[in-house]
Amino acid sequence: MGSSSLTTNTKTAAYHSGTSLGEMADIYRRELLESILPFWLKYSKDEKNGGYFTCLERNGEVFDTDKFMWLQGRNVWCFSFMYKEITENPEWLKMALHGADFMEKFGRDAEGNWYFSLTADGRPLVQPYNIFSDCFACMAFAALDKVQPSDRYKKNALDTFENIIRRRHNTKGLYTKSFPGTRNLKNFSLPMILCNLSLELEHIIGTERVNSFIPEVVHEVMDVFYQPELGLILENVQEDGSFSDSFEGRLLNPGHAIEAMWFVMDLGKRMNDHALISKACNIMLNTLEKGWDKEYGGIFYFLDVHGHPPQQLEWDQKLWWVHVEALVALAKGYAATGDERCEKWFRIVHDYTWKHFRDPEFGEWFGYLNRRGEVLLTLKGGKWKGCFHIPRALFQVWKTLEKI
C-alpha cells in the first residue's frame, strides 16, 4: 500500500517537490484511514435512534439532529464500499448496518419513495421531492448487499432502481415548478445517475442491462451536453439539445462536469475505448482551465458561459467536492493517457486542496471556503456534506496513483 520510503508530514501534507505522483498514493491512503473514516465513526452514529448525525461542527460536535436521506444513504454506501474494497473491518460493517436499519425502518413513504429528510427519531420532515434521495438509497443497499448479501437489501435496491427509472422523465413529479412546454430543459445529471446506479447494481440486474445504459449516457454527455465549439459541458440544454439563453441554460458547473469525466473515463476503460478516454480527459482539462480562479486559486462553484452574473450567490465559493473530484479525474486522466497536463494540474489542485480544505487540528476537511480560500463555514458535515466525496476520492486517488 504505497511507498513506505515517502516522507510525508501529516500535519501539512507536505511532500518533496521531487515526489512522483506514484509516491503520493500513500498520503491519500493515510488520510482516508487515519482521519476521515475515524471521524465519521466517532461522531456521526446516533446510538439512541439509529442512523447518522451529519451536521457536525469542526470538532465533531452535533449541531443539528435532522437526518438527510442523501447523506444517510451515502454513509451506508461508503462504509460498505470500504469494507469490500480495503479490508473487512467489522466496525465498518456495523456502521453501514446501523444506517441501513434506520433507513429501512423510517426512510420511505407508502409508494416506496425516499423522503428528503427525517427528524432524529425518524419522523418524515421533507417529502420525497428529490430523486437523489432515491439514488443514494439505491446505491446504499446495493453496496451493502455486496458485503452482506440479503434478499431484502437486493429488493430495496431493485425496487428503488425501478422507481427511479419510472420517474426519470419527471423527477420532481408534483413538486415541479416549471410550466410544462414553455422551456423544457434537461439536466445532465439524469443520464449520469442511471449509468452510475446501474453499475452499482450490476450484481443484481446483470451485465446485459448495465451495458444497455452505457451507449445512451455516453451519447448524451459527450455529444448532447458537450459543446465542441466551447470545449465545455453545459449543465442544462433544451430537450432537442439546443442552447437555452437563460440562467439555467448558460450555467457551467465545473465540478459536476469534471466529476462526470472521470466517470466517463471509467466507462471508456470498461469498453476499451481509448478515443473516449482521451476525449473525456481533454474536456476535463478544458473545464479546469475555465473553472480555475486565476486570482485566488481554486475552482469556482458556478459560472455563466457568457460571463454574465450567475443567479447562484455562492458562485465564487470553493467547495470540497469540486476539488476532490478534480483530483480523482486528474489522477485517472494521467494514469490512462500519460498527458503531462494532468500531472501539472494534479500538483496544483493537490496543493490548493490539502492546504485549504484539510483540518490538521480536528481531522476531516472543511467543506466551504470563500473565494480567497478562507473557511466560510466551520462545519465538517451538514445538510449536504457527509461521508462520501472525500473518502471516495481519497480511495480513488490512492488506488489510481498506486498503480502508476
Give the interface with its own copies as residue ranges (CB under 8 A): 55, 57, 63-64, 66, 115-116, 119, 123-127, 129, 174-179, 182-183, 245-247, 306, 308-311, 313-317, 368, 370-371, 376-379, 382-383
CA dihedral 44, 48, 50, 56 (to 10 degrees): -20
Query: Distance (Å, rounded) from C-alpha 317 to C-alpha 218?
Result: 30
The nearer residue to its own copies, 183 or 269, going by C-beta atoms, is 183
- Under a CB-based contact definition with an 8 Å cutoff, are residues 65 and 116 in contact? no
User: All 3 cell numbers of residue 94?
Assistant: 456495523
The nearer residue to its own copies, 20 or 244, going by C-beta atoms, is 244
Query: Distance (Å, rounded) from C-alpha 3 to C-alpha 30?
Result: 12
Minimal CA–CA distance to 134: which of 165, 113, 103?
Answer: 113
Min CB(380)–its own copies separation in Å: 10
Amino acid at 56: L
Minimal CA–CA distance to 192: which of 231, 139, 143, 128?
Answer: 139
Mapped onto helix, strand or coil, the DSSP state of residue 254 is helix
Amino acid at 187: N
Residues ≥6 apart with Cβ < 8 Å to 366: 58, 320, 356, 357, 358, 359, 375, 377, 378, 379, 380
The nearer residue to its own copies, 104 or 121, going by C-beta atoms, is 121
User: All 3 cell numbers of residue 242?
Assistant: 439546443
